[in-house]
């Protein structure tokens, strides 16, 4: 998952008059579904003259389109009656076997029967939330967390409790405290949602030394772990980390995706779940979409069978490493004192904190005017924390454009700091830490 559309629909309350004649008919859960003000800005930010450090779109330019085209043509000509026909909600069996090979790279030994193929791993997350979360149930997530996950949790009226990260990822002691606090308040915590590797948006990786501890804490608390791992194979030195799923198969639901390692537009992701949960997921998937697209699944399957997909991932690693280097180097060169940022060794994102008094959301229109875009931090929290943070993506623009974008951003920040020194804070900042958000205010 983790798309190019990072605006959090649960973050910004709709303020205008509502002219919708169907207003009184909606379900309670629909109240959390309001369009973000960021959305309009995104249209502007996508103009070619703007360097977008905002989107999370993978760069597909390195894909061998001609040979993929030939394979797909062969597939339709020879197996079209299968490829264009309904499939099962469980997913194509051959692909599920190949997915086991992909997961084995990170130490997972799963059975193809326990995999459900989904329309991107976003759908897997939606199904997991659907079968586990009643309104008011609590989901623990890193703070910050993936904006698309927060949207899904909000759409099922789950309450998100954020837990602190540091440069080694989720902090076990903070998790322990959050679980204890939830228990003390009588809240039902359904799962920990975590992105252990090359976190979106934080750009950090959960230390291997913490993994067993995190799993132990969750197991003791009777809380499932949802491990979302779209970037795990995009370590810049080819390194991988043992999946949480590999360490506790019975208490982890693993979400995987081909969006970052092959092609996002096919929308092929999956969940690997304990057997009984997998059965529920298939039934939920039937109700949601009947079956994922068979053609997409067969294209991925054939690509894995006929292309050097591991070599392709290596070339993705090299490309993204160059872009990460361009971003970090130019941040070092240009950012004013008081800015700090994470140093990812994989994935797509750097998380930057700016000096006190600067509100990254308030600053964003000025940045776009200066032809650079980022995503303000508050979109990655369910509780409006993150006003001093921003996400910088290095996945899509070229290194040269990244450097130019950082130069522009540095100028905007310098101006903002000058204004701040002269006039004081431009807007009231929210300084409270992670807390239980209410979806009703979303």
Does position 289 interact with its own copies (CB under 8 A)? The reply is: yes
Q: How many residues bind its own copies (CB under 8 A)?
A: 92
Does position 256 interact with its own copies (CB under 8 A)? The reply is: no
Nearer CB in complex with its own copies: 24/421: 24
Does residue 414 sit in helix, strand or coil?
Answer: helix
Does position 120 interact with its own copies (CB under 8 A)? The reply is: yes
- The interface region with its own copies, picked from 94-102, 170-178, 263-271, 406-414 by CB under 8 A, is 263-271
Cis peptide before 201 (omega within 30 of 0): yes
Q: Which of 74, 365, 425, 433 binds its own copies (CB under 8 A)?
A: 74
Q: Which of 145, 229, 246, 296 binds its own copies (CB under 8 A)?
A: 296
Q: How far is the CB of 7 from its own copies (least distance, A)?
A: 9
Alpha-carbon Rg for the chain, nearest whole angstrom, is 22
Does position 85 interact with its own copies (CB under 8 A)? The reply is: yes
Does position 179 interact with its own copies (CB under 8 A)? The reply is: no
Does residue 334 sit in helix, strand or coil?
Answer: helix
Does position 114 interact with its own copies (CB under 8 A)? The reply is: no
Nearer CB in complex with its own copies: 289/419: 289
Residues 32-61 that bind its own copies (CB under 8 A): 33-35, 57-58, 60-61
Q: Which of 15, 16, 48, 77 binds its own copies (CB under 8 A)?
A: 77
Whether the CB-CB separation of 141 and 179 falls below 8 Å is answered with no
Residues 184-243 that bind its own copies (CB under 8 A): 190, 222, 224
Q: Which of 242, 274, 336, 355 binds its own copies (CB under 8 A)?
A: 274
Q: How far is the CB of 80 from its own copies (least distance, A)?
A: 4
What whole-number distance in Å separates Cα of residue 239 and Cα of residue 256? 17
Tokens of 279: 């059965």
Residues 132-161 that bind its own copies (CB under 8 A): 132-134, 137, 148, 151-152, 154-156
- Helices 294-306 and 65-83, axial angle in degrees (round to 10): 130
Q: How far is the CB of 130 from its own copies (least distance, A)?
A: 7
Tokens of 185: 């308040």
Burial of residue 61 (CB within 10 Å: 0-12, 13-18, 19+) is exposed
Tokens of 163: 């837990």
- The interface region with its own copies, picked from 46-54, 286-294, 382-390, 415-423 by CB under 8 A, is 286-294
Does position 401 interact with its own copies (CB under 8 A)? The reply is: no
What whole-number distance in Å separates Cα of residue 423 and Cα of residue 235? 44
Could you give the dihedral angle defined by the CA atoms of residues 380, 386, 390 and 395, in that order, rounded to the nearest 10 degrees? -20
Sort residue 127 into left (φ over 0), alpha (ψ -120 to 50) or beta: alpha
CB hemisphere CA count around 322 (13 angstroms): 12
């Amino acid at each position: 998952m983790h798309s190019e559309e990072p605006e959090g629909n649960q973050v910004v309350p709709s303020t205008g008059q509502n002219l919708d004649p169907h207003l009184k008919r909606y379900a309670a859960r629909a109240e959390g579904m309001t369009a973000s003000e960021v959305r309009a800005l995104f249209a502007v930010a996508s103009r070619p003259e703007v360097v977008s450090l905002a989107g999370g779109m993978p760069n597909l330019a390195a894909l061998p389109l001609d040979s993929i085209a030939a394979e797909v043509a062969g597939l339709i000509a020879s197996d079209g009656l299968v490829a264009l026909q309904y499939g099962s909600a469980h997913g194509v069996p051959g692909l599920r076997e190949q997915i086991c090979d992909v997961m084995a790279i990170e130490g997972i030994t799963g059975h193809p029967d326990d995999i459900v193929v989904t329309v991107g791993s976003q759908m897997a997350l939606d199904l997991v939330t659907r079968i586990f979360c009643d309104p008011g149930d609590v989901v623990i997530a890193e703070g910050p967390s993936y904006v698309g996950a927060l949207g899904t949790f909000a759409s099922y009226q789950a309450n998100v409790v954020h837990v602190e990260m540091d440069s080694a990822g989720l902090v076990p002691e903070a998790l322990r405290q959050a679980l204890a606090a939830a228990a003390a308040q009588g809240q039902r915590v359904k799962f920990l949602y975590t992105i252990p590797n090359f976190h979106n948006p934080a750009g950090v990786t959960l230390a291997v030394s913490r993994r067993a501890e995190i799993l132990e804490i969750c197991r003791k608390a009777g809380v499932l772990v949802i491990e979302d791992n779209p970037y795990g194979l995009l370590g810049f030195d080819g390194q991988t980390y043992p999946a949480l799923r590999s360490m506790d198969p019975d208490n982890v639901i693993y979400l995987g995706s081909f969006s970052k390692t092959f092609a996002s537009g096919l929308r092929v992701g999956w969940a690997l779940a304990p057997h009984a949960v997998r059965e529920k997921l298939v039934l939920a998937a039937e109700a949601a979409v009947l079956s994922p697209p068979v053609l997409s699944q067969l294209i991925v399957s054939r690509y894995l069978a006929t292309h050097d997909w591991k070599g392709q991932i290596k070339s993705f690693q090299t490309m993204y490493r160059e872009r990460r280097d361009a971003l970090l180097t130019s941040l070092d060169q240009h950012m004013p004192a008081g800015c700090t940022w994470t140093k990812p060794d994989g994935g797509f994102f750097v998380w930057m904190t700016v000096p006190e008094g600067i509100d990254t959301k308030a600053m964003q229109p000025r940045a776009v005017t200066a032809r650079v875009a980022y995503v303000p931090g508050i979109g990655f929290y369910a509780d409006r924390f993150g006003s001093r943070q921003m996400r910088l993506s290095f996945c899509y623009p070229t290194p040269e454009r990244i450097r130019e974008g950082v130069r522009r951003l540095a100028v905007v920040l310098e101006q903002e700091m000058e204004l701040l020194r002269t006039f004081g804070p431009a807007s009231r900042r929210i300084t409270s830490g992670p807390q239980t958000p209410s979806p009703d205010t979303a």
